[in-house]
Copies of this chain bind each other. A is one copy, B any other.
Amino acid sequence: MAKVISIQEQDYNLADEVALLEQDNDCDGAVVTFTGRVRNKNEGLKVSGLYLEHYPGMTEKSLEKIIAIANQRWSLGRVRVIHRIGQLAIGEQIVFVGVTSMHRKDAFAAAEFIMDYLKVQAPFWKKELTEQGEKWLDAKTSDNNKAKQWQSSE
C-alpha cells in the first residue's frame, strides 16, 4: 500500500488527487473518496466559518497509525488523506480521504474506517464562527460510538 498524508492550509483539487490515485494503477478497479465540507448550519445555529487547529507532529503520526490499521484489515492499493487547517469558509473542503482497492468492499470500508478514527483520534479542533460568536465544538458521543463499532464488526 502507498499512502500520502498532508496537513495544509491551502485548498486542494479533488480531480488532481483522484488522478494521482489512479495513475499507473490499472490493477485497482475501485476508488472511494470522502470529502468533508464546512456546513452552513450546526445544531440549529447559522455558521459563517470554521477555524481549525491541530497538533503538528502528532497529527501526522496519528493518521499514519490509523492508515496502518486499515491496511492490516483490508486489501488496499493507495491511500490519500488531506486535512486542512486554519480559517475555512462555508462550503470549503475540510478533509479528503481517497482509497483504491481491487475490491469495492475494501475501498468503502477502509475510507469510512479512516474517517471514523480520524474523527476521534487525530488531534484537530474546530472553532465555529456562528451568529452568536466563536465557539469551540464539543466532541460528539455519536462519533465515539461509531468508531467503537469497528472493534466488533466483521
The smallest beta-carbon distance between A115 and chain B, in angstroms, is 6
Q: Is A76 an interface residue (CB 8 A)?
A: no
Q: Is A91 an interface residue (CB 8 A)?
A: yes
Q: Are A27 and B41 in contact (CB under 8 A)?
A: yes
A26 and B108 contact, Cβ closer than 8 Å, known pairs A31-B35, A32-B32, A32-B34: no
Chain B residues whose C-beta falls within 8 Å of the C-beta of A135 in the assembled complex: none
Q: Which of A26, A38, A102, A105 has the most CB of B within 10 A?
A: A26
Q: How many residues of A contact B (CB 8 A)?
A: 32
| Per-residue contact bits, chain A 101-120, to B (CB 8 Å; 1 contact, 0 not) | 01011011001100100000
Q: Report how far A5 CA is from B27 CA in the complex, Å.
A: 27
Closest residue to A37 on the B side, CB-wise?
B29
Q: Report how far A15 CA is from B13 CA in the complex, Å.
A: 8
Q: Is A65 an interface residue (CB 8 A)?
A: no
Q: Is A8 an interface residue (CB 8 A)?
A: no
Q: Is A146 an interface residue (CB 8 A)?
A: yes
Q: Are A30 and B36 in contact (CB under 8 A)?
A: yes
Chain B residues whose C-beta falls within 8 Å of the C-beta of A22 in the assembled complex: 35, 37, 91
| 15 intermolecular pairs with C-beta atoms under 8 Å apart | A14-B14, A22-B35, A22-B37, A22-B91, A27-B39, A27-B40, A27-B41, A29-B36, A29-B38, A30-B37, A31-B33, A31-B35, A33-B35, A105-B146, A108-B111
